[in-house]
Amino acid sequence: MSDHHDDPSADPTETLAQSGVYLVHTGILRPVGGGDGVRIGDRPILVGRGEGCDLRLYEPTVSLSHAIFEGTRDGVLVTDDSSSNGTFVGGGARVTGSVLLVGPCELRLGKAVLRYEPGLREAANDHPGRFGDLVGATAVMRRVFHRLERAALSGLSVLLYGETGTGKEAAAQALHVASGRRGPFSMVNCAASSEAHIEAELFGQVKGFMGATEDRPGFFQRARGGTLLVVEVGDLSPALQAKFLRAINTGQVMPVGSQVPVDVDVRTVYATHRDLPAAVRKDEFRKDLYFRIAEIPIELPPLRKRLEDLPLLVPALLRERRRPDVTLDSSAMAALRRQEWPGNLRELGSVLAEAAAFSSRSVLTAADFPWDGVAAGDETEYREHMKARAREYFLALHRELDGNVSAMARRSGCTRAKIAALLRSYGLTERPHQRH
């Protein structure tokens, strides 16, 4: 039998892949006109004017964090990092997302000109990327992990943005752990509450004010020495935006009903699905507050842009939902890849939990998933269909377990509070002795 390695017509990249090695595009990035360059590998390289950049350019038109360069199997991926004056390849148009470099070329960042000299190297297939509970091996997620790692130790304010269900809370918790801060991790949601309630939640209130029977510390005080995740900061009223800006600028909060400021040492992280730059342009959000909270903006990509991560995400989500015994066959994985996932990781987790609960097998197939021909691209119809399926599942679980909320939580992987809320929405009650 002839050895594939002896075949002169064999694809060398395929041969390398079979041996657990692949070729990655690398190279050197040098400033035109002199100065030290930087070698590009499969780790993201940050170029800009800021202190933490791998290649620092002392040109005023270059942003603090201007562009990211990363070697991949297909070429060196260049991503403009929301720079002010743009990234341009050769004499081409401005880079609006990402482009691949596969040959020598010049790039312009603001008025700075760089020269890319390509190269190749062999790289071993390493372990999948991870940052806290976030997992992913795609290029987009490796860039996210790189930014999160740098942000964790910087002490700067981080704005996590992206669609609902993309993992912003998990990213914030991982940031806190990686930061080394010894205080607690706390979270406050600014959405769907009155202005007075949110102000008291954030800054606290004193005894005797608004019926308070004792002094109540706010989330800033409770997170002292740690990290505070502020969810949907874009929902703050203009008056609260001003008070919030004063608090993070001075490191002091003024409890409701008090005239004595309280010192707080808190690292703030923000999460939103709103387009805050658009809100700034419409005068719905203060520009000075936006720049203060978005010192390091990081986008969590939607699931549809990282479907190659499904083989890593599926077992992680099943473990979260206490079903590590369940696996998927190739037809099931292919079915997941065909969906649009408007609810992202949160929706994927719910779909997996439901399929695992309904199936009597430990290996799920495409037939175990609940789409029944509903087009995933029709988001409204899809969401309504999934709500109906969820209701059907929890009603059956309620009957089977006689309304035992703790048992329902264990079986479904949801929290008791979530189960109780669902039962109320369905007009059902938990077992009387389960109430607290």
257, part of any domain: yes
129, part of any domain: no
- Which of 124, 153, 188 lies at the terminal end of a domain, its last residue? 124
Q: Are residues 21 and 167 in the same domain?
A: no
Q: Are residues 92 and 65 in the same domain?
A: yes
Band (pLDDT 50/70/90 cuts) for residue 211 is low
Q: Is the pLDDT of residue 230 over 50?
A: yes
Beta pairing class for 129-131 and 134-136? antiparallel
Query: What is the average pLDDT across 166-170?
Result: 94
The count of C-alpha atoms lying within 13 angstroms of the C-alpha of 233, restricted to the half-sphere facing its C-beta, is 31
Closest among 48, 83, 78 to 143, alpha carbons compared:
78
Q: Is the pLDDT of residue 374 over 50?
A: no
59, part of any domain: yes
pLDDT for 10 equals 41
Rounded distance, CA 130 to CA 141, Å? 9
- Which of 299, 318, 348 lies at the terminal end of a domain, its last residue? 299
Q: Are residues 341 and 255 in the same domain?
A: no
Lowest mean pLDDT among 222-226, 289-293, 413-417: 413-417
400, part of any domain: yes
Lowest mean pLDDT among 36-40, 341-345, 350-354, 409-413: 409-413
pLDDT digits (tens, 9 = 90+) for 46-97: 999 988 789 999 999 999 989 989 887 778 888 888 889 999 998 777 887 7
Q: Is the pLDDT of residue 343 over 90?
A: no
Q: Are residues 157 and 256 in the same domain?
A: yes
Mean pLDDT of the chain: 83
pLDDT for 22 equals 57
Rounded distance, CA 84 to CA 62, Å? 8
- Which of 99, 124, 149 lies at the terminal end of a domain, its last residue? 124
The count of C-alpha atoms lying within 13 angstroms of the C-alpha of 77, restricted to the half-sphere facing its C-beta, is 18
Query: Higher pLDDT residue, 379 or 406?
Result: 406
Token match 């994927």: residue? 348
Q: Are residues 271 and 381 in the same domain?
A: no
pLDDT for 210 equals 61
Rounded distance, CA 54 to CA 33, Å? 19
Residue range(s) defining the domain that contains residue 284? 134-299
Q: Are residues 188 and 283 in the same domain?
A: yes
Q: Is the pLDDT of residue 285 over 70?
A: yes
Band (pLDDT 50/70/90 cuts) for residue 15 is very low
Q: Are residues 295 and 158 in the same domain?
A: yes
pLDDT for 2 equals 35
Q: Is the pLDDT of residue 385 over 70?
A: no
Q: Which residues contact 363 (CB under 8 A, 6 or more apart)?
A: 326, 327, 328, 329
Three-state DSSP state, 138: coil
Token digits of residue 347: 């929706």
pLDDT digits (tens, 9 = 90+) for 116-142: 999 987 665 444 478 899 998 887 888
pLDDT for 256 equals 86
Q: Are residues 399 and 335 in the same domain?
A: yes
Q: Are residues 269 and 337 in the same domain?
A: no
Q: Are residues 144 and 279 in the same domain?
A: yes
Question: Which residues on neighbouring strands pair with residue 39, listed in sequence order?
Answer: 28
Rounded distance, CA 248 to CA 291, Å? 12
CATH number, domain at 53? 2.60.200.20
Q: Are residues 142 and 117 in the same domain?
A: no
In the chain, % of residues over pLDDT 70: 84
In the chain, % of residues over pLDDT 90: 38
pLDDT digits (tens, 9 = 90+) for 295-328: 999 999 999 999 988 988 999 999 888 888 899 9
Token digits of residue 305: 């842009």
Q: How many structural domains is the chain composed of? A: 3
Q: Are residues 331 and 413 in the same domain?
A: yes
CB-based contact 401:407 (threshold 8 Å) = yes
Q: Is the pLDDT of residue 278 over 60?
A: yes
